[in-house]
Chains A and B, each alone.
Chain A
Amino acid sequence: MSHYEAPIRKPLITGDKSYHDVTLDVVRPVEGKANKSWWIVFSISLIAFLWGLGCIIYTVSTGIGTWGLNKTIGWAWDITNFVWWVGIGHAGTLISAVLLLFRQKWRMSINRSAEAMTIFAVVQAGLFPIIHMGRPWLAYWVLPIPNQFGSLWVNFNSPLLWDVFAISTYLSVSLVFWWTGLLPDFAMIRDRAVKPFQKKIYGILSFGWSGRAKDWQRFEEIHLVLAGLATPLVLSVHTIVSFDFATSVIPGWHTTIFPPYFVAGAIFSGFAMVNTLLITMRKVSSLEAYITHQHIELMNIVIMITGSIVGVAYITELFMAWYSGVEYEQFAFLNRATGPYWWAYWSMMTCNVISPQFMWFPKLRRSIMFSFFISIVVNIGMWFERFVIIATSLHRDYMPSAWTMFSPTYVDIGIFVGTIGFFFVLFLLYARTFPVIAQAELKSILKSSGEKYKKIRAEKGDDAPLHDPYKQEAKPDFTNEFNK
Chain B
Amino acid sequence: MSSEKKYWKSEAQLDENNPEVQSLENNEFVEHIPTDEFLGNKEKLENSKTTRRDFLKYVGFSTAAASLAACEGPVVKSIPYVVQPDRLVPGVADYYATTIANGYDFASVLVKTREGRPIKIDNNTSAKDFTAGKARVHASVLDLYDIKRLQNPQIEGRDATWSEFDEKVGIELNLASTKKIVLLTQTFASPSTDRLIKQFKEKYPNTEHIVYDSVSEEAALKAFQGKFGYKALPNYDFSKAATIVSVGADFLGDWQGGGFDASYSRGREPKSGKMSRHVQFEANMTLSGGNADKRVATKPSVQKQVLVEIYNQIVSNAGSTELNAKTQKAVDSAVNSLKKGGSKSVLITGIQDEGAQRMALEINAALASTIIDTDNARMIRQGENSKIDRLIEEMQSGQIGVLMTAGINPVYSLPNSEEFTEAMQNVDATVAFSMKLDETATQAKYVASTPHYLESWGDVQLTKKTFSLIQPTIQPLFDTRQFEECLLNIISESTDYYGFIKETFNQNFGGLSWNQSLHDGTFTYESEVNKEDSEEETISSAFNASSVARQLLAHSGDNLELTLYTKTSIGDGQQSNNPWLQEMPDPITRTSWDNYITIAKSDAESLGLKNYNVADGALNGDYVNLTLGETTIENIPAFIQPGQAPGSIGLALGYGKTESIQEEMQVGHNAFKLYKDFNTHQDVSLSKGTGVHEFACVQLHHTMMGRRDIVKETTLEIFNTSEKDSWNKTPEVSLNHKPTKVTSPDVDLWQEFDREIGHHFNLSIDLNSCTGCGACVIACHSENNVPVVGKHEVRKSRDMHWLRIDRYYSSEDSLQGDYEKKDNISGLSESLSKFAELEEPSETDVQVIFQPVMCQHCNHAPCETVCPVAATAHSRQGQNHMTYNRCVGTRYCANNCPYKVRRFNWFQYSQNDEFDYHMNNDLGRMVLNPDVTVRSRGVMEKCSLCIQMTQKTILDAKRDGREIKDGEFQTACSAACDKGAMVFGDVNDKESKVVEKRDDDRMYHLLEYLGTKPNVMYQTKVRNTTEA
Contacts and interface: CB of A to CB of B under 8 A. Distances in A.
Is this pair of chains taken from one and the same complex?
A: yes
Interface of A: 62-65, 68-72, 74-75, 129, 132-136, 138-139, 141-142, 149, 152-155, 157-161, 164, 244, 247-250, 327-328, 330-331, 334, 338, 394-407
Nearest to A402: B900
A70 B797 contact: yes
Contacts of B890: 129, 132-134, 160
Interface in B698-738: 699-705, 707, 709-710
B162 interface: no
Given A135-B887, A399-B898, A401-B804, A62 B907 contact: yes
Interface stretch (B27-35, B149-157, B374-382, B867-875): B867-875
Given A63-B905, A70-B616, A135-B887, A398 B895 contact: no
B700 A404 contact: yes
B938 A134 contact: yes
Given A160-B866, A400-B701, A401-B808, 16 more contacts: A64-B904, A65-B798, A68-B616, A69-B906, A70-B797, A75-B892, A133-B889, A134-B938, A136-B888, A155-B865, A394-B895, A398-B707, A399-B900, A401-B701, A401-B853, A404-B700
Given A68-B616, A152-B886, A249 B896 contact: yes
B70 interface: no
Interface of A, helix, strand, loop or mixed by DSSP:
loop
A163 to B, nearest CB: 8
A398 B898 contact: yes
Between A63, A142, A244, the greatest number of chain B beta carbons within 10 A of the residue's beta carbon is seen for A63
A392 to B, nearest CB: 13
Contacts of B613: 405
B867 A404 contact: no
B65 interface: no
B122 to A, nearest CB: 28
Contact of B888 (A74, A139, A248): A139
A399 B793 CA distance: 21
Interface in B804-856: 804, 806-808, 822, 831-832, 835, 851, 853
A244 B865 CA distance: 11
A400 B704 contact: yes
Contacts of A158: 865-868, 870, 892
A327 B824 CA distance: 12
Contacts of B1010: 249
B616 A71 contact: no
B618 to A, nearest CB: 8
B557 interface: no
Given A159-B866, A160-B892, A250 B898 contact: yes
Given A249-B1010, A406-B616, A72 B900 contact: yes
B865 A71 contact: no
B895 A248 contact: yes
Contact of B892 (A68, A71, A74, A401): A74
Given A64-B889, A135-B889, A399-B899, A70 B703 contact: no
Interface residues of B, number: 65
Contacts of A139: 888
Interface of B, helix, strand, loop or mixed by DSSP:
loop
Interface string B589-620: 00000000000000000000000011111000
Given A63-B938, A155-B870, A248 B905 contact: no
Contacts of A402: 699, 900
B488 interface: no
A331 to B, nearest CB: 7
A198 to B, nearest CB: 44
A74 B903 CA distance: 10
A459 to B, nearest CB: 64
Contacts of A154: 868-870
13 contacts: A63-B905, A65-B798, A135-B938, A154-B870, A160-B866, A161-B868, A398-B899, A399-B806, A399-B898, A400-B705, A401-B807, A404-B700, A406-B616
B136 to A, nearest CB: 24
Contacts of A161: 868
B447 interface: no
A442 B240 CA distance: 93
A117 B383 CA distance: 79
A401 B890 CA distance: 23
B651 interface: no
Nearest to B873: A155
Nearest to B704: A400
Contact of A404 (B617, B870, B904): B617
Interface in B902-925: 902-908
B441 interface: no
A406 B700 CA distance: 13
B869 A142 contact: yes
B894 A134 contact: no
B891 interface: yes
Contacts of B704: 400
A166 to B, nearest CB: 13
A421 B894 CA distance: 31
A248 B862 contact: yes
A296 B887 CA distance: 47
B898 A133 contact: no
